[in-house]
Amino acid sequence: MTTQPNPHPTLIEVDPFLPADQQLGLHNRWHPDIPPFATVKPGEVFKIQCVDWTGAQIGNNDNSDDIKNVDLTKIHNLSGPIAIEGAEPGDCLVVDILDVTPFEKMPWGYTGIFELENGGGLFGIYATSRHIPGVRFAGVSHPGLIGTAPSAELLATWNKREGELIGIHANSVPPVAFPPEPKGAYVGSRSSLSGDLFEKIAREGARTVPGREHGGNCDVGTNLLSAIRMILSQPTDQESIQAGIITFKTSVIKGGVEKFALKQPIFVPSPIDPLYSAKLVFEGISVDVHGDGKQYNMDATVAYKQAALNAIAYLMKVGYTREQACMSQSPISSDAS
């Protein structure tokens, strides 16, 4: 795959085939004490290279053991942090995503079905898969994970409330949340961190699985191939990014958190998006029709699952395996009404 020349400076360079914990400019925990890897001025255009979310644990082969055995203590390896000159607590950081491209030597991605214990168990321009011949989807890139570094106070709030949730659902499979976990923690700073500082980050650092007030695991399924704008609340002066090769520009809105009453990020999608005029729509209602038939009271989660299960059942009837049907749903858009 050939990409157009992009003259803007690359602040973080990575090897997508090398384990993340052997590279600089990456980290897999949220913590205010992680030092910035680079600094930019507002308005400066720059590129960042990113490894895949597992840090090269998944190979381009037909052996699914790497998905089954992925080490979730090491996931979401973020490129950064990047400090923005002049940004202060209470400001809004506006992030324009100008371009998203794959590595020329790695023009592929993947989707998979997790083991139940790991959180699974729902039962170029075009993306194709050798495992589902004859099927292709228009690529819709999106910021899988992007956010600002939390303040110490915000980090403590996350860990407290998520710890309480874990305590209430201690025996849940899959887990409802993941607490801080020193095992697998990684910070690839330019200069070596002291042992005490790294231990503090590993002990306190928030896991990168959920989205939170600062952004985080947004997975906003909107087309970014032209441009997108994200407005992030700014607890500190750092930003962290994950996914491919991305070109950014930032600006700062002083006092923007109060000015716009921000509690979470705002997304401004690209005006360019794939348009499918012929569609099938699968409805789900607040009744567990694929289970015990129980009626729920306006439960959007139950209804959403029923719609997904209806789509899977249909695709299986027309010849796809359960796995193919499940993974083919990743590009499907959904609406609640």
pLDDT bracket for residue 247 (50, 70, 90): very high
Positive or negative, the Cα torsion across 272, 273, 276, 281? Answer: negative
Same domain for 220 and 244, yes or no, is: yes
| Mean confidence (pLDDT) of the chain | 85
Report the 3 state secondary structure along the chain. Answer: CCCCCCCCCEEECCCCCCCHHHCCCEECCECCCCCCCEEECCCCEEEEECCCCCCCCCCCCCCCHHHHCCCHHHCCCEEEEEEECCCCCCEEEEEEEEEEECECCECCCCCCCCCHHHCCCCCCCEEECCCCCCCEEECCCCCCEEEECCCHHHHHHHHHHHHHHHHHCCCCCCCCCCCCCCCCCCECCCCCCCHHHHHHHHHHCECCCCEECCEECCCCCCCCCCCEEEEEEECCCEEEEECCEEEEEEEEECCHHHHCCCCCCEEECCCCCCCCCCCCCCCCCCECCCCCCCECCCCHHHHHHHHHHHHHHHHHHCCCCHHHHHHCCCCCCCCCC
In a domain, 77, yes or no: yes
Does the pLDDT at position 3 exceed 90? no
Choose one of 242, 268, 294: the last residue of a domain. Answer: 268
pLDDT of residue 182: 97
In a domain, 93, yes or no: yes
Q: Quick one: what percent of the chain has pLDDT higher than 70?
A: 83
If phi > 0 it is left, if psi is from -120 to 50 it is alpha, else beta; for residue 126 that is beta
Same domain for 263 and 300, yes or no, is: no
In a domain, 5, yes or no: no
In a domain, 4, yes or no: no
pLDDT of residue 143: 61
Nearest to 97 by CA among 51, 39, 46, 148: 46
pLDDT of residue 171: 93
In a domain, 215, yes or no: yes
Choose one of 268, 288, 317: the last residue of a domain. Answer: 268
| Structural domain for 72, as ranges | 10-268
Nearest to 27 by CA among 215, 239, 175: 239
Distance in angstroms (rounded) separating the CA atoms of residues 31 and 48 = 20
CATH number, residue 61:
2.60.120.580
Same domain for 83 and 165, yes or no, is: yes
Place of tokens 């998944």: 58
Same domain for 134 and 228, yes or no, is: yes
pLDDT of residue 275: 72
pLDDT of residue 107: 82
Distance in angstroms (rounded) separating the CA atoms of residues 153 and 138 = 42
Choose one of 221, 239, 268: the last residue of a domain. Answer: 268
pLDDT digits (tens, 9 = 90+) for 115-165: 666 655 544 556 677 877 887 766 666 667 889 999 999 999 999 999 999
Q: What is the mean pLDDT of residues 260-285?
A: 84
pLDDT of residue 33: 96
Same domain for 35 and 153, yes or no, is: yes
Same domain for 161 and 307, yes or no, is: no
Least confident residue range of 218-227, 280-289, 315-324 = 218-227
Same domain for 22 and 59, yes or no, is: yes
Structure tokens at 176: 């409802």
In a domain, 191, yes or no: yes
Nearest to 46 by CA among 230, 248, 242, 227: 248
Same domain for 252 and 287, yes or no, is: no
Does the pLDDT at position 67 exceed 90? no
Question: Higher pLDDT residue, 243 or 331?
Answer: 331
**Which of 59-63, 82-86, 98-102 is most confident?**
82-86
Does the pLDDT at position 243 exceed 80? no
Distance in angstroms (rounded) separating the CA atoms of residues 142 and 231 = 15
Distance in angstroms (rounded) separating the CA atoms of residues 76 and 59 = 16
- Which amino acid is it at 162? E
In a domain, 2, yes or no: no
pLDDT of residue 336: 79
Does the pLDDT at position 298 exceed 80? yes
Q: Quick one: what percent of the chain has pLDDT higher than 90?
A: 56
In a domain, 3, yes or no: no
Same domain for 117 and 214, yes or no, is: yes
- Which amino acid is it at 88? E
Total of domains in the chain? 2
Same domain for 202 and 130, yes or no, is: yes
Same domain for 239 and 140, yes or no, is: yes
Q: What is the mean pLDDT of residues 318-335?
A: 82
Same domain for 174 and 87, yes or no, is: yes
